[in-house]
Structure 1
Amino acid sequence: MAAQLSYEAFLEVMGPQLVGMGLPEKLWRCAFDKLSSENLDASDAFTLVERDDRQRGESKWQVVSCRPIEKESGVWLCDHCWSFRLKEGKRQLKENEKLRARLQSLFGVSSDTAVDDLWRELLPALQHYQVASSSRLDEEAVWYLMDEFGSSFDVEITRVDDEMDQKDEVPEADGLANFRMAPFFHTQRGVAYTLIWPVKDTEHYEPCSRLAVPKSGGPEDLLLDFPCVRVPQYTEASPIPAVLQCSRLFALMFPWRSSAARELVVPWYVRMAAELLQDEKTHMVVDEQQPSAVGSSSSIASVFDFPPHRSAQIECDRRELRRRVDLIDRTQVSETLKKSPLRVFTDLPILQETLSRDDFTFTDDILQADVLYVSYVLNDGRDKPTDEKGSEWSSSIRFNSHQLVNQLVGEGHMTTKDGLAKMTRRFAWLPDAYDLSTELPQMIGAYHRRHQSAQGPSAPPESPHQGRHSDYWIVKPRNLARSIDTHITNDIDEIVRLSSTFPKVCQRYIDRPACIDGKKFDLRFYVAVKCFPSIASGKAIEMGWAGRWPHTHTRVLHVVGGVQVAVYERFAARMANEPFRMDDFDSFPVHFTVMNYQDEQTRSKNVVMTCTHFKTQLANEHGHHDDAAVAAFWKAIIDKVHLMVRELFQTFVQQMTLKENSSSGESVLTNPTSFAVYGLDVMLEHTEGNLEPRLLEVTFFPDTARLVKEDRGFWDTVFGWVFREERGGAMVEVTM
């Protein structure tokens, strides 16, 4: 058994948890003493009484004080009766009869209650934490349910009342929780508890309560001082109340709302969802008079300004782009491109193994390299990045301003799922998606709008996706891969609860995917991008297309240091292990396609097809058998994918526009040392008799192992197009 920690050692190791949860410093010694002895002495101050009227998510018991308790007078420990990863929760409920019986008794539901119904009953009572070390954060939250004592506290939320006059003053806070709770992980024992302490004086036999949503420390905490938010019936003349419009905390309380309260709040959220879509559309203008920039007769959307909720980060990226551009000697970049061989520095083994061209060689010295293709963050410029203490960031490596680097300034607007959703939600090829960190109220509104449409004949008119869909959504972290911490659900309460963990995006689940052998699949397309000046002239490339400014006359947009984009003709097809069905949503082999990170047994069951074989079989399954029919079938799909790629990168380039005072209009100043290879993950969806591509995500530094097994010339071809202006062949250029 490990030796008992001293108080000083305890604070050094676990003190940051006490600070983070907001436990008053005068209670730290009390917490240490009780944790050291595992003293569960709550019965000295509290007792349980049976509730007369139990609401959803409430225990059948209620905690009341059995003596007066002064504010910040002590700390009590609460044990956890159940800890689990979310994907395992329902399975454990099904398989563990003793656990199921205990929870049925605790929440006062009958023993024949279905597992799914019991799960929905438990959702408001579940809490979570994430374990972090000095080097990494656990990628999935641990969910838990407190024991009979902790689960029986009342839950305080900001109330909703439609009968109060909106002009009345907000009343003084008089109904907030009298206790605070926070999870605590004892790192020496590997055991989690909940710490409970009083934040208000509590009388004898007074009900004890906690906040539904713990305070975050941000400005939205002010909303918790308002025990009532007035929600008048919506009229065209009345604006949405700012307290609803701005409050994520208010939206986080949705799972605890009664049916009557939901009827008052939901219409506002539906309105907010519609206004979000309209806000995006007002920043998308289409020039109906001018021909498309890419040689097509169809018009193309041109984005020249962005909604306020996105403009701050975009402007920051624009300034960073300006800083980098000012440091670069374009003539020196052109001279670098003329070198042979070009020296390449990379941490990608498969690139080192398969790049066989004589005009490239590898080096281990990052500062001597001409080309950097790396998986980590790079910093250019004259100064090395430092933290507050003046130490260099270990995750950011300095490089020279003339080196050619596989990173585009602002690419996070594409490679993070929340950035992609906000940048491209106007396009039909992106399934409806919402950032749960900033758009939770709108997500609740979109859910209810789609839920109504799922019961009716067609999709809502605000959506670019026509046809009847189910109301299932997929919730995934904004910046994690391999389907980690990803969940599929049609329960809005579960979506809201998931939003309080790692920052997440909620996206419409594709419920009618194209399948092969009955199994779901996705396609990984590889897209190369370069921003180099012309090698022949050493000057910036100039391209142009017409774009209409909102409320002003038409101007010509000049692209200086033009962005060039090409799609590799072969893709990697990834298939699920089991036939697709719209149930058992926790089954990874049914609903997910990336199996190469799973256990050996799962990987051994995965079918791997070459691109050629996959194309032939999918066309055959859709009734196309001769070579000409197969080619026509795929041409229609690939043309749509190329249009999607063009619209994606045009939108990204326009978003990174740097405003110049020039009579000729705007200038898009791209970093002339930047290139990149992205993986675009695409699914095909059955829509009105057609197969339509849907973009799932854009991946930085994509895994190419599966494609290289089929085509070992991949990196030779990509590097030839990027650095040697080799056109044609397997690189299909998308004109910008």
Structure 2
Amino acid sequence: MTNRNLDEFVSVHCCQLEAIGVPRRYWESLHNKLTNEVYDASDYFTMLYDASTNDWKVVVAASSGLNLEDENNIFLIDHAWTFELEHARKHLMFIPGLLDRMLNLMGCVPVGVATDNLGDEGSACVQCDTSNDRNLSKLGCSNGQMLEVPSEQPTVEKQIDTVMETIWRFAQFYKLSSMSTAEQGGVWYVMDEFGCRIQHSDYPSFKCVPFFYNSVGICYTLTWPVREVCCGDELTRDYIMGVVCEEARITSLLPWFYKDIRDMVENKPLPSRTMVDVDCEGRFAEIITVENEDVDDDVAIVNKTGPLAVYTDMELLKSFVTLPEFSFTEDLGTADIIWICDHFRNFTDLKQCPKQFVNQFPFESVITCKDLLARVCQKDTVTDDGTCRGADWLPLTFDLVLELPQFARAFQQREYRSLDNIWIVKPWNMGRSLDTHITDSLVKIIRLSQTGPKIASRYITNPVLFYREGLGHVKFDIRYIVLLSSVKPLVLHAYNVFWLRFSNKSFSLEDFEDYEKHFTVMNYGGSELKQIHCHDFIPMFESQYPNYQWTDVQASLHDVICKAFKAATIGDPPNAIIPFRQARALYGVDMMLEWSADKTAEQKIMIPQLLEVNYCPDCVRACRYHPNFFNDIFSFFFLQHSTDDISNMTRLL
């Protein structure tokens, strides 16, 4: 190995090595092992199976033990399986040998132990031979692992279900900075048998971290000692490295050490956010002085000779704003209107150009980010039975970054009371159902929470359904386009044309991984998109539900939109949208209808449920079927046209 090769390795991987905490003394040895595929763990460790506890452990076999200063004491752990979550079942079904290996690795098949391996105290320890793995083929002994085969073999589907239920005790996760938005679900992996049998300790002897080797595009796990270990000492790691808070540690360890935590976790509301919190959350913080910005005047846009100049990063806008009163410019400084998808931050500078308008309000993230929307709409704590939290029009929601223990407590309370316990887990700030999961497994939700900022919301288990010919009754949701003109006073309008989205399979509370059964966003992933225009939908809906008039249903949906925006505009920044005279904003509000759980009512009640509020919503369909959509929006916002002039607009507030 030349110094040049080492220098190139360090140049490419230095930031990653420092970020994961690999001491510099190991870098040269690590480069050598990666380059030459040196899997030498078998020279230092052995795996033991303890029949009394039905578990494995890894112990140091090297007679001299391992010390911190030996530069060779860093080891590669291979990955037995790498997958994206949505493809896991297909992998298990079609990759030869994978299902059998996972069943064995995860202990889903009983281990038989020869009687001559019994120790003095009656416990049995067996060393494992795994010929399929590069690191482990040398770790075995004459007493190989023996498997007892049940007399009645479960079906392949049942075996796959077993692996998918057990996987959360074994799977690890990483995400590359180069991943696209669609790939933000990241990559899951299961370490080889050696890696999976390293047990947990709050005071570990080793550190284990994933490392992506760019030269070959492969991820390994690296492990090295964090303290001196002697021959016979157990190799342990911290399963939840970096989690410090006691409540959070207890909760995060539930996948491996399950216990009742209902009396161990305090039920408390979240405190108000500060600007320091905004920085810690990694969000874009607005730059604005708010002392004198206490009211939104109804100011008309500047009167000028010629069209109003629009600066935008949206090609769609350039194609569908066709009124002669508007033109487009590439110069942001001379624009009268700034209409962009990117987040606008510097409102203070914009105030120096009082006739320039922007399509965003300061701190509107309180309604467009799912975790903050839940905060402003449900400001109470969860009741002790885990049932409600303020607004009945927003599904019970928890911020899994800040409230994981409280969520687990509520989950166990609901389980104890036999309440429905199905949840939908979503990223804080991502749309199109990306990285979104439906599950009734607390263990799965806890592990998903470790992959990035997420919320868990009660899954709507009794939705109002829509009959589709040939499919049966399917889920649907409704997208409203909402226009915010002013915060103080609060001026809110809805575009009269709304959009329907439908599932492609009959609804039932099973097969939660079946996207076309449980999700409605079909216009991005190649699924069939069922298009029904709102003017066709209304008579079809009233035909299916003759006791419900759409005008009444829509009034209740509009009422919820008003309540959400009222809640989001009460308070001080960063906890509320604040007034800004030069702001006009467009939002996509997604809603569903749910049947009330009140069985005493004479007639079943449809309860609106707010799902999310989207900044800069996708308006492709709006423009395709209603070419004047953006002309209506711009005329209303910037030409002072009233709802009398624009028939497609209804004032909500």
Same fold? TM cut 0.5: yes
Q: What's 2:607 paired with?
A: 692
The equivalent residue for 2:480 is 525
Q: 1:54: how far off? A: 4.0
- 1:505 deviates by 0.9
1:45 positional shift: 0.4
Q: Which blocks of at least 5 consecutive residues in structure 1 are unaligned?
A: 158-175, 224-242, 277-306, 384-396, 457-469, 532-558, 625-631, 660-666
User: How far apart in 1 are the matches of 2:252 and 2:209?
Assistant: 17
After superposition, the CA RMSD in angstroms is 3.2
Q: CA deviation at 1:616?
A: 1.8
1:267 to 239, 252, 263: 263
1:732 aligns with 2:650: yes
Name the residue aligned to 1:651: 567
Q: Distance in 2 between matches of 1:638 and 1:34?
A: 65
Match of 1:574 in 2: 501
- CA contact 2:287–2:348 (8 Å) conserved in 1: no
Q: CA deviation at 1:656?
A: 3.5
Q: Which of 614, 618, 621 in structure 1 is aligned with 2:544?
A: 621
> Conserved in 2, the CA contact under 8 Å of 1:681 and 1:698?
yes
SS at match of 1:310: coil
Separation of aligned partners in 1, 2:516 and 2:179 = 34
Match of 1:437 among 370, 395, 401: 401
- How many percent of aligned residue pairs carry the same amino acid? 29
For residues 503 and 107 of structure 2, the distance between their equivalents in structure 1, rounded to whole angstroms, comes to 40
The answer to whether the 8 A contact 1:406-1:677 is kept is: yes
Question: For 1:141-180, what aligned pairs fall within 5 Å after superposition?
Answer: 141-157=186-202, 176-180=203-207
Aligned-residue offset at 1:706: 1.4
Asked if 1:634 is matched to 2:550, the reply is yes
In structure 1, what is the Cα distance between the partners aligned to 2:288 and 2:41? 60
Q: Give the partner amino acid of 1:566.
A: H
The 5 Å alignment of 1:422-571 reads 422-425=375-378, 426-453=390-417, 455=418, 470-516=420-466, 517=468, 518-531=473-486, 561-571=488-498
C-alpha separation in 2, matches of 1:117 and 1:135: 31
Q: Distance in 2 between matches of 1:638 and 1:685?
A: 13
The AA in structure 1 aligned to 2:239 is A
Aligned to 2:534: 611
CA distance 1:607–1:327, change in 2 (3 Å): closer
| Residue in structure 2 matched with residue 413 of structure 1 by the alignment | 366
Partner of 2:307: 341
Give, as a single letter, the amino acid of the residue that structure 1 aligns with 2:228.
D
**Which residue is equivalent to 1:9?**
8
**Can you list the C-alpha shifts for 1:448-472, whole angstroms capped at 9, x where unaligned?**
222234x25xxxxxxxxxxxxx211
Secondary structure of the residue aligned to 1:47 is strand
Q: Deviations over 1:259-318 (max 9, x none)?
A: xxx13x23333x52xx33xxxxxxxxxxxxxxxxxxxxxxxxxxxxxx524355689999
CA distance 1:374–1:366, change in 2 (3 Å): same
Contact 1:378 1:398 in 2 (8 A): no
**1:51 and 1:62 in contact (8 A); partners too:** no
> For residues 628-684 of structure 1, what are the alpha-carbon distances to aligned partners after superposition, in whole Å with 9 as ceiling and x for unaligned?
xxxx6111211112211211111111134799xxxxxxx996110011000001111
Measure, in 2, the Cα distance between the counterparts of 1:610 and 1:136: 30
Does structure 2 conserve the Cα–Cα contact (< 8 Å) formed by 1:332 and 1:402? no
Instruction: Give, in angstroms, the shift of residue 691 of structure 1.
Output: 1.7
Q: Please give the secondary structure, in 1, of the residue aligned with 2:98.
A: helix
**Cα distance, 1:184 vs. partner?**
0.6
- Residue 577 of structure 1 aligns to a residue whose secondary structure is coil
- For the Cα contact (< 8 Å) 1:128–1:143, is it kept in 2? yes
1:125 aligns with 2:80: no
> 2:43 aligned with 1:24, yes or no?
no
For 2:396 and 2:226, the matched residues in 1 are separated by: 42
| d(CA) in 1 for partners of 2:546, 2:3 | 71
2:29 maps to 1:66: no
Post-superposition offset of 1:357 = 2.6
Aligned pairs (5 A) from 1:581-620: 581-599=508-526, 602=527, 605-620=528-543
The CA distance in 1 between the partners of 2:61 and 2:506, in whole Å, is 55
From the superposition, tell whether residues 332 and 451 of structure 1 become closer, same or farther in structure 2 (CA, over 3 Å): closer
Task: Please tell me the residue identity of whatever aligns with 1:706.
Answer: R
Across the two proteins, how many residue pairs are aligned to each other? 575
Query: What is the correspondence of 1:671-686 to structure 2 with a 5 Å cutoff?
Result: 671-686=580-595
Residue 126 of structure 1 and its aligned partner are, at CA, apart by 1.1
Q: What is the alpha-carbon distance in structure 1 between the residues aligned to residue 516 and residue 195 of structure 2?
A: 37
- CA gap of 1:30–1:587, structure 2 versus 1, over 3 A, is same
Aligned to 2:138: none
| Aligned 8 A contact 1:567 1:734 in 2 | yes
Moved more, 329-338 or 680-689: 329-338
Q: CA deviation at 1:342?
A: 2.2
Alignment of 1:367-382 (within 5 A): 367-380=333-346
Q: Is the Cα–Cα contact under 8 Å of residues 64 and 208 in structure 1 kept in the other structure?
A: yes
Cα deviation, residue 72, structure 1: 5.2
Aligned counterpart, 1:536: none
> In the alignment, which residue of structure 2 is the partner of 1:92?
91
CA–CA separation in structure 2 for the residues paired with 1:351 and 1:344? 10
Shift in Å at residue 347 of structure 1? 2.4
* CA deviation string 1:519-559 (max 9, x = no partner): 2111110000113xxxxxxxxxxxxxxxxxxxxxxxxxxx7
CA offsets 1:465-503 (integer angstroms, 9 cap, x no match) = xxxxx2111111111111111111111010000011121
TM-score by length of 1: 0.72
DSSP 3-state at the match of 1:438: coil
The equivalent residue for 2:240 is: 213
Deviation for aligned residue 1:90: 3.2
Q: How does 1:42-441 map to 2 (within 5 A)?
A: 42-54=41-53, 60=56, 62-67=58-63, 68-71=65-68, 73=70, 74-96=73-95, 98-110=97-109, 112=154, 114-133=159-178, 138-157=183-202, 176-215=203-242, 220=244, 243-244=246-247, 248-258=248-258, 262-263=259-260, 265-269=261-265, 271-272=266-267, 275-276=268-269, 308-312=271-275, 323=289, 334=300, 336=302, 341-380=307-346, 400=353, 402-425=355-378, 426-441=390-405
The equivalent residue for 1:35 is: 34
Scaled by the length of structure 2, what TM-score is found? 0.81
Seen in structure 2, the aligned counterparts of structure 1 residues 54 and 568 have a Cα distance that, compared at 3 Å, is: farther
Shift of 1:41: 0.6
Supply the distance in 2 between the matched residues of 1:153 and 1:410 (Cα, whole angstroms).
46
Q: Quote the offset at 1:339 in angstroms.
A: 7.0
Deviation at 1:138, TM superposition (A): 4.6
What is the one-letter code of the residue matched to 2:539? T
Question: 1:303 is matched with which residue?
Answer: none
Deviation at 1:213, TM superposition (A): 0.7
Q: CA deviation at 1:617?
A: 1.4
Deviates more, 1:585-594 or 1:180-189: 585-594
How far did 1:97 drift?
5.7
Q: Matched residue of 2:561: which SS? A: helix
Q: State the secondary structure of the residue aligned to 2:501.
A: strand
Please give the alpha-carbon distance, in whole angstroms, between the structure 1 residues aligned to 2:365 and 2:523: 25
- Aligned residue for 1:712? 627
